[in-house]
Structure 1
């Protein structure tokens, strides 16, 4: 009798297991385009002098002029951050020493900061102001959003719609009826925008800047059941 009960339980479990294995798994991708409302500039000062102390002092003076111009342009201290501060020797390979080894003939001090500009209407003037007051190193400019969450959510909704459309297409092609959503796995959310502005673009006049659009993307994995 016990063996019969066990056999019945196993037979009852088989359809359930088979039903659970009927799944449609799709990846959804969503993209939305939006206008950026802020920019991040990577800039700094490179200074050279005969001694390490003189190079650092020269660099500090120049950077103070840059920071002063940023403050006068309305950039808050919370939007300015030091990315790199370095001091390195400048080598002269034309050595006149007996050993023939390269000699140090000076030092190079570098101080790089990232600056967030929240008022894009002032971006060109900000760039021009800092160039005229000591900044001589530019590593690029990128655009972004001060609050990414609304754009992220729009991209996520678009990704879900894309996944549902794909799942319905596959179900119809396979001749089955699409069931309920079993699970949703959130993927990466990315923003891609123009990265521009090199040192040779700096001019004495206000720098023209085109902000363009920012693409925000989201990916999801959705598991659907198959209706019986």
Structure 2
């Protein structure tokens, strides 16, 4: 009798342990299934806006590029002619108050001059060309015409370009950038008001790279020779900035 009771108790204990074990497995599987199911995301409205602005500034620097091209029977003679004229030009420009650091030799070239014979399809060297190009930075815009005049009066016979620029362009760009930011915020507020939502701080702010290219005034040799200081005007330079905001 006691043996039967003991067996019954043992059976109950075993069943209890089995039940607890099965329940534990069920809970683990349920938790795993719940974790593997994708969570329902709350749809949120995303607002992207671009702000654009610009400021106008008067240039305070001009970069002038011109040079001398000479020809002679030998390379040495051609180069000597060019060097003599270049040195004369540099001395004349310095007398106008241009600093030596603002006068840069851009390029020196020496190359042969060929003559072509149609009868035998042969070519031969009959001389040489020598050229030197100078780049001069003029930090007083009112002197640009005088620099060009002086260069050509003293032997320059080639002219590449005339470029206007701004020495402290960073300050003007920051002004444009601040305006672009305000422009973007205004657009975002208009959109949010129309959608009936409120805006917090932007999640993403991007400053878009924008290359501000200074204006270039190309002039032919004839135009440069006839130029006077009153005919060369820098005008204004437009400096742009762009900003993108994401809310």
Q: How far apart, CA to CA, are the structure 1 residues paired with 2:34 and 2:77? A: 90
Q: 1:221 is matched with which residue?
A: 244
Change (3 A) 1:78 1:201: same
Aligned residue number for residue 115 of structure 2: 92
SS in 2 for 1:23: coil
The equivalent of 1:69 in structure 2 is 92
Q: Deviations over 1:168-212 (max 9, x none)?
A: 233334443333211211222433443214122123673421111
- TM superposition score normalised by structure 2: 0.78
Deviations 1:75-124 (A, max 9, x none): 1122122222211222223x27x732122222111211211100112221
Find out whether 1:206 has 2:228 as its counterpart. yes
**Partner of 1:141 in structure 2?**
162
Higher Rg of the two aligned structures: 2
Secondary structure of residue in 2 paired with 1:128? helix
Distance 1:9 1:122, change over 3 A: same
CA contact (8 A) 2:51 2:243 kept: yes
Once residues 6 and 23 of structure 1 are traced to their aligned partners in structure 2, the CA distance between those partners, rounded to angstroms, is 33
Q: Which residue of 2 aligns with 1:56?
A: 79
Q: Secondary structure at the match of 1:160?
A: helix
Change (3 A) 1:48 1:15: same
Deviation at 1:162, TM superposition (A): 2.0
Alpha-carbon deviation of 1:30?
1.6
Structure 1 residues 13-64: Cα deviation after superposition (integer angstroms, max 9, x where no partner): 6447x44xx4222222221111111111111111111111111111111111
Aligned residue number for residue 103 of structure 1: 124
> Does the aligned pair in 1 maintain the 2:114–2:127 contact within 8 Å?
yes
Compute the TM-score of the two structures, normalised by the length of structure 1.
0.84
* 2:55/2:176 contact within 8 Å kept: yes
Shift of 1:220: 2.1
Q: Distance in 1 between matches of 2:33 and 2:141?
A: 73
In terms of fraction of residues, the more helix-rich structure is 2
Q: Do the aligned partners of 1:132 and 1:204 also contact (CA within 8 Å) in 2?
A: no
Give the number of equivalent residue pairs: 219
**Structure 2 residue corresponding to 1:39, chosen from 26, 51, 62:** 62
Q: From 143, 153, 167, give the equivalent of 1:132.
A: 153
Q: Does the Cα contact within 8 Å between 1:193 and 1:213 map onto a contact in 2? A: no
> Which structure has greater strand proportion?
1
